[in-house]
Structure 1
Amino acid sequence: MASYTIRRGKIEDCKALFELAMKLRVHTGDAAFGGPTTTEDMLREDGFGPKPLFRFYLAIYCPPEDGPNTGEKAVGFVGVSDMFCPLSGRTAYLTGLFVDAEHRGNRLGVALMKAIAKDCLTQRSSRLSFAVDTNHLDTRKFYASVGATNLTESTTPNEYWRFFESNMKKLAEADELKSSSGKTITFQTV
């Protein structure tokens, strides 16, 4: 009988993580906005270097012993990055969740979310935040089914914003800015 294992990702899993992340890009439509800005090498450095920026868990498919043995294969992932808020302490951000289409319906998404929830609690995170495109109805239903709260629809007066790299570069490279009162703000490199 086939089975699945959920386990924490290791440095040698970065190739599988990259491949699954590329499938997620296609699935969500993000591939239409250009190529990836990360590489397998960046995943290795950023996940396992001197200052790890993220961690991840994989869903591993284990084929049946009596069937054609193609070996174990990563078929899903969930990733998280740590953040800090002076009011809330440690928090975390869900960087991605994906399960290959042919393995959906086996509750792997729930299992991956359970693994990351346990991980976040172990890290003393007070919350796990993430964004979901409003047109991804099945994804929104899934997150609601595991107990996540859609803050956009709640009474919480929050909006979620995204600062894209191109606009961050424009701001970072600006030598001076004008304040709303017309005063000039200059920047000096230290």
Structure 2
Amino acid sequence: MMAPTSKAFIIRPARPDDCGEIARLIQEVEEYQGFGDKETATEEDLRQDAFGDDPYFRALVAEVPGTADAPGGEAKLVGHAMYYFCYSPVVRRVMYLENIYVEPLYRGRGIGTAIMREVAKIGVKHRCNKMQWVCLNWNDVAVKFYQKHGGKDVTVEEKWHLFRMDQQELAAFARE
């Protein structure tokens, strides 16, 4: 799948050699969200987890042609989306959008919409009945973006709470 969305950028599946740039973009997301002090996936983690024998996620990237900020006229990755498939006994096939990000300098050009649309197309191709994701409650720009594209905030509407166990709690619970 190579989905040119305009002459200014393309959306394409990530390749193993993109993992360094994806790691950089993830770090930018974490810093933007105020989690810059947390350890994030490294280039090698991403390569293993996306392209190893048992992939945990898939990714798309947004690429712009060579520019002044891309040395040597090489294309530059300016955005990405990470997703995976899961299952619900109620709705069956579900696509989970784990991460979507476009560098601030490249926002407002339709790149985020194009990435999200390509993820949605993959979900439709795989007969998913739902795509879901989370968004920080203070990120009004993202909330408006998702709502503009048909996303519904089910936090209040369906009265869901998101729970988790981090590694320490998971390991402690598994030992009991």
Provide the TM-score with structure 2 as the length reference: 0.87
- Is 1:51 the counterpart of 2:54? The answer is yes
- Is 1:147 the counterpart of 2:147? The answer is no
CA RMSD of aligned residues (A): 1.9
Other-structure match for 2:4: none
Q: Distance in 1 between matches of 2:174 and 2:94?
A: 26
Q: Which amino acid aligns with 2:27?
A: M
Q: Which amino acid aligns with 1:42?
A: D
1:40-87 CA distance string (max 9 Å, x none): 1121121111221111111101146xxx86310000001101111222
Please tell me whether the aligned partners of residues 53 and 82 of structure 1 are also in contact (alpha carbons under 8 angstroms): no
Residue 162 of structure 1 deviates from its aligned partner by: 2.9
Q: Distance in 2 between matches of 1:9 and 1:22?
A: 17
Structure 1's consecutive aligned runs of 4 or more residues displaced over 4 angstroms after TM superposition are none
Residue 160 of structure 1 deviates from its aligned partner by: 2.2
Aligned partner of residue 30 in structure 1, secondary structure? coil
Residue 147 of structure 1 deviates from its aligned partner by: 0.7
The match for 1:7 among 12, 29, 33 is 12
Q: Which amino acid aligns with 1:21?
A: I
- Is 1:35 the counterpart of 2:35? The answer is no
1:89-134 CA distance string (max 9 Å, x none): 2212111011111111111111110010001111222111111111
The number of aligned residues is 168
Q: Distance in 2 between matches of 1:29 and 1:159?
A: 22
Residue 157 of structure 1 deviates from its aligned partner by: 2.7
Please tell me whether the aligned partners of residues 92 and 127 of structure 1 are also in contact (alpha carbons under 8 angstroms): yes
Q: Distance in 1 between matches of 2:163 and 2:146?
A: 19
Q: Distance in 2 between matches of 1:121 and 1:11?
A: 25
Q: Which amino acid aligns with 1:16?
A: E
Q: Which amino acid aligns with 1:163?
A: M
Q: Distance in 2 between matches of 1:42 and 1:23?
A: 17
Matches within 5 A, 1:172-187: 172-174=174-176
Other-structure match for 1:76: 79
- Identical positions, percent: 25
Unaligned runs of at least 5 residues, structure 1: 175-190
